[in-house]
């Protein structure tokens, strides 16, 4: 993928370390902290932490600078930590239980996110350098990465509302929570009425038939009572038994796996046997995470490839690339959004009724803000892939595509006739990326997976604690990180690809549990940072040092601003709705796009800036274009031979 690319990583941030690991995994040769920056293709630095380590004017090398905030931010230049950025950005305020304090995400989420976006941006810049001879600088900010993770919370802010913490619940679905079992915890997530009915019948708790739980809205309003009743059932079962029951009835569920138990988790052990053995033998250290790969690549098929005609390119780094996206919600749409921002033509395939997320509230003009944030700059087409005519249209789209990315359940696309071999026959050069919860080769081939379940089974929830109990990352952390891993793998594959050569197609597999475990093991192999959120009159402040009882008592009588000034080094924990009054957020993160009707939409800038071929967010798609089905023409009546035609 990136073979032949020489990288120098010289920065103190975790993001620089992780970026180097990712680039090396993709085939690059990586050196760390060499004194002479000569003869490198890429240099990765963190100038706010290591001010003397930047070679922005190197001339021949792509220089990627990963910092806490952007150069135009009023807080620029300060080496803010990941936890400080979590506090400033609203991420911290979305994590934790509703009645408790904000919780720091247990992995350095913004550092990890910055590493993934930086790696993708570097791969894009390598492509531009090789194809156009352009060398450029890249800036990546932790604050921008944090904002990019808020797509489930910003819609409420756009509508003038406050989105509070929900712990392990879902704001619009119930039952959806962590429940105690007789030997641990289990996450249970229902998203449809059918799933709720099956769970209710299986639990056999008479009170669940009560009118309080008749509709989804009723269940959300009475979530406290509902959760208590569900737990009265789960508490009688072992975690494994409860999980098997949920799998049998098609309800997403899974145990909260402790980081020390990860090596014994069946799917992790199946997919990463060597890492599991190393953990059991020597425990978790600073390099353990490197034994877990966040993506797998293999040949798409045995079909010979044919060189693609090369066209003149201008614009974004991926100009001339055609992408087909089949997916919904977060993971595949996130990939498509960034590929489009980088200049690719992205065609999103939606079901005939449109993606479900289009109708989520709030929004405008019949489209949700959530959908708009995740699907900018795409062409959208409605296809019913159960119909042969629509499958034929998809085959036509794929014939000259460069990339297919999807997040359907494993095997779903193959059942429609689009196996890897079939895709290779349609387009031997195709880069096909499949994103799923547990992977294609899985210990759970029939288990559905949601973000919350993957957080639980990947170790993220065990490391993130609210009031001492495991709690999910407020943002859809597993979905987002899985999408970012797919983005990097795809762009890295495109970076050094020659359009003139007969290069075979590639299959890229992303298992979100792999990515979650990679992040969790990285965090577990390092010293846990100190810090706590202290209550104030109008919220909380984050402090990264030990606090006395007197200081804690003092904060209760102060505003966040006053407490931050009094304590020194404390950071106010911002609410998401407050970001819309923050000058730095408005200038550096928020942007506006238009739809086909000329209406304006609030959207987010990408958190990476390429100096000469920038990525850009421009438009929000309208309703999906519907393909007109053509009925077979009726055969003309035969003309008798004794008559003129």
pLDDT tens sequence across 517-574: 999 999 999 999 889 999 999 999 999 988 889 999 999 999 999 999 999 889 999 9
Confidence of residue 645 (pLDDT cuts 50, 70, 90): very low
How far from each other are the two terminal CA atoms of the chain, in whole angstroms?
Answer: 62
- In this structure, are residues 403 and 490 in contact, taking their beta carbons and an 8 Å threshold? yes
Question: Alpha-carbon distance 70 to 147, whole Å?
Answer: 13
298-433+494-525+618-626 fold: Rossmann fold (3.40.50)
Q: In what order do the strands lie in the sheet with 539-543?
A: 532-536, 539-543, 571-572
Cis status, amide bond into 362, omega within 30 of 0: yes
The residues facing 29 across adjacent strands are 6
Question: Alpha-carbon distance 430 to 415, whole Å?
Answer: 19
Query: In the Cβ-directed half-sphere of 134, how many Cα atoms lie within 13 Å?
Result: 20
- Map out the domains of the chain as residue ranges: 176-255, 298-433+494-525+618-626
Q: pLDDT tens for residues 160-179? A: 998 889 999 988 889 999 99
Rg of the chain over CA atoms, in angstroms? 25
Question: Alpha-carbon distance 140 to 71, whole Å?
Answer: 10
pLDDT in the model for residue 316? 94
Question: Alpha-carbon distance 640 to 645, whole Å?
Answer: 8
pLDDT in the model for residue 122? 98
pLDDT at 228 over 50: yes
Contacts of 243 (CB under 8 A, 6+ apart): 186, 253, 254, 255
- In this structure, are residues 589 and 605 in contact, taking their beta carbons and an 8 Å threshold? yes
Confidence of residue 145 (pLDDT cuts 50, 70, 90): very high
Question: Alpha-carbon distance 542 to 530, whole Å?
Answer: 11
SS3 category, 187: strand
pLDDT at 638 over 50: no
176-255 fold: formyl-coa transferase, domain 3 (3.30.1540)
250: left (phi over 0), alpha (psi -120 to 50) or beta: left
pLDDT in the model for residue 58? 56
SS3 category, 569: coil
pLDDT in the model for residue 39? 85
Prediction pTM value: 0.94
- Residues labelled as active-site residues: 479
Question: Alpha-carbon distance 92 to 105, whole Å?
Answer: 7
Q: What torsion do the CA atoms of 104, 108, 110, 112 make, to the nearest 10 degrees?
A: -150
Q: What torsion do the CA atoms of 172, 480, 257, 190 make, to the nearest 10 degrees?
A: 20
pLDDT in the model for residue 183? 95
| Rounded mean pLDDT, 26-50 | 89
pLDDT in the model for residue 307? 67
Alpha helices, DSSP H, located in 498-582: 512-524, 549-555, 560-567
Question: Is the torsion defined by CA of 258, 259, 264, 268 positive or negative?
Answer: positive
Contacts of 587 (CB under 8 A, 6+ apart): 72
Q: pLDDT tens for residues 325-381? A: 999 999 999 999 999 999 999 999 999 999 989 998 899 999 999 999 999 999 999
pLDDT at 637 over 50: no
pLDDT in the model for residue 340? 98
pLDDT in the model for residue 393? 97
| Rounded mean pLDDT, 58-79 | 89
pLDDT at 312 over 70: no
Cα–chain center distance at 5: 26
Q: pLDDT tens for residues 428-466? A: 999 999 999 999 999 998 888 899 999 999 999 999 999
Question: Alpha-carbon distance 11 to 23, whole Å?
Answer: 15
pLDDT in the model for residue 311? 60
Question: Alpha-carbon distance 375 to 377, whole Å?
Answer: 7
- CA-to-CA separations, 379 to 24, 387, 512, 613, in angstroms, rounded: 34, 21, 26, 22
pLDDT at 17 over 80: yes
Question: Alpha-carbon distance 313 to 135, whole Å?
Answer: 16
Q: pLDDT tens for residues 471-520? A: 999 999 999 999 999 999 999 999 988 766 667 899 999 999 999 999 99
pLDDT in the model for residue 162? 87
pLDDT at 53 over 60: no
Q: What is the average pLDDT score of the chain?
A: 92
Query: Over pLDDT 90: what percentage of the chain?
Result: 83
- In this structure, are residues 452 and 168 in contact, taking their beta carbons and an 8 Å threshold? yes
Question: Alpha-carbon distance 452 to 167, whole Å?
Answer: 11
Contacts of 248 (CB under 8 A, 6+ apart): none
Q: Identify the DSSP state of 619.
A: B
pLDDT in the model for residue 301? 83
| Rounded mean pLDDT, 276-294 | 96
Confidence of residue 630 (pLDDT cuts 50, 70, 90): low
């Amino acid at each position: 993928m990136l073979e032949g690319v020489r990288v120098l990583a010289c920065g103190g941030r975790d993001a620089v370390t992780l970026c180097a690991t990712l680039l090396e995994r993709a085939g690059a040769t990586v050196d760390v902290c060499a004194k002479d920056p000569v003869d490198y293709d890429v240099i990765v630095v963190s100038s706010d932490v290591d001010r003397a380590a930047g070679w922005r004017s190197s001339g021949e090398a792509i220089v990627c600078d990963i910092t806490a905030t952007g150069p135009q931010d009023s807080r620029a230049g300060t080496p803010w930590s990941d936890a400080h950025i979590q506090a400033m950005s609203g991420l911290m305020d979305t994590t934790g239980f509703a009645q408790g304090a904000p919780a720091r995400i247990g992995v350095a989420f913004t550092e990890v996110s910055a590493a993934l976006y930086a790696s993708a941006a570097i791969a894009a810049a390598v492509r531009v350098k090789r194809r156009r001879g352009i060398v450029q600088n890249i800036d990546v900010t932790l604050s921008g990465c944090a904002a990019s993770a808020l797509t489930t919370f910003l819609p409420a802010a756009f509508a003038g509302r406050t989105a509070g913490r929900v712990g392990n619940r879902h704001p619009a679905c119930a039952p959806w929570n962590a429940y105690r079992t007789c030997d641990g915890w289990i996450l249970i997530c229902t998203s449809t009425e059918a799933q709720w009915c099956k769970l209710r019948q299986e639990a056999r708790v008479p009170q669940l038939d009560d009118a309080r739980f008749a509709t989804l809205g009723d269940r959300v309003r009475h979530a406290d009572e509902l959760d208590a009743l569900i737990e009265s059932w789960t508490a009688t079962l072992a975690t494994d038994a409860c999980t098997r029951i949920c799998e049998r009835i098609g309800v997403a569920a899974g145990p909260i796996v402790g980081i020390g138990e990860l090596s014994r988790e069946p799917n992790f052990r199946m997919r990463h046997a060597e890492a599991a053995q190393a953990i059991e033998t020597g425990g978790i250290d600073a390099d353990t995470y490197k034994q877990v790969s966040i993506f797998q690549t293999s040949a798409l098929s045995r079909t010979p490839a044919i060189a693609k005609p090369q066209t003149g390119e201008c614009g974004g780094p991926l100009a001339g690339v055609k992408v087909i996206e089949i997916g919904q919600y977060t993971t595949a749409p996130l990939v498509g959004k960034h590929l489009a921002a980088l200049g690719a033509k992205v065609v999103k395939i939606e079901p005939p009724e449109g993606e479900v997320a289009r109708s989520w509230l709030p929004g405008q003009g019949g489209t949700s803000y959530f959908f708009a944030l995740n699907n900018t700059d795409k062409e959208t087409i409605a296809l019913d892939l159960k119909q042969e005519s629509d499958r034929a249209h998809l085959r036509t789209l794929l014939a000259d595509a460069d990339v297919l990315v999807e997040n359907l359940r494993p095997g779903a696309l193959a059942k429609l006739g689009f196996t890897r071999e079939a895709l290779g026959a349609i387009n031997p050069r195709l880069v096909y990326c499949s994103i799923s919860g547990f992977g294609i080769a899985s210990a759970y081939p029939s288990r559905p997976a949601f973000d919350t379940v993957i957080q639980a089974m990947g170790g993220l929830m065990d490391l993130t604690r609210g009031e001492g109990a495991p709690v999910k990352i407020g943002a859809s952390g597993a979905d987002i990180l899985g999408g970012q891993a797919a983005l990097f793998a795809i762009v890295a594959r495109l970076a050094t690809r020659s359009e003139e050569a007969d290069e075979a197609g590639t299959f890229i597999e992303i298992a979100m549990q792999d990515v979650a475990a990679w992040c969790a093991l990285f965090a577990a192999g390092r010293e846990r940072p100190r810090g706590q959120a202290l209550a104030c009159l109008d919220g909380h402040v984050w402090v990264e040092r030990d606090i006395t009882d007197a200081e804690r008592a003092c904060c209760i009588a102060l505003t966040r601003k006053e407490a931050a000034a009094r304590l020194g080094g404390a950071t106010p924990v911002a609410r998401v709705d407050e970001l819309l009054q923050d000058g730095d957020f408005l200038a550096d993160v928020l942007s506006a796009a238009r739809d086909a009707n000329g209406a304006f939409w609030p959207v987010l800038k990408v958190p990476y800036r390429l100096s000469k071929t920038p990525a850009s967010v421009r438009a929000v798609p309208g309703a999906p274009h519907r393909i007109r089905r053509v009925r077979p023409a009726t055969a003309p009546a035969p003309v008798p031979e004794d008559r003129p035609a």
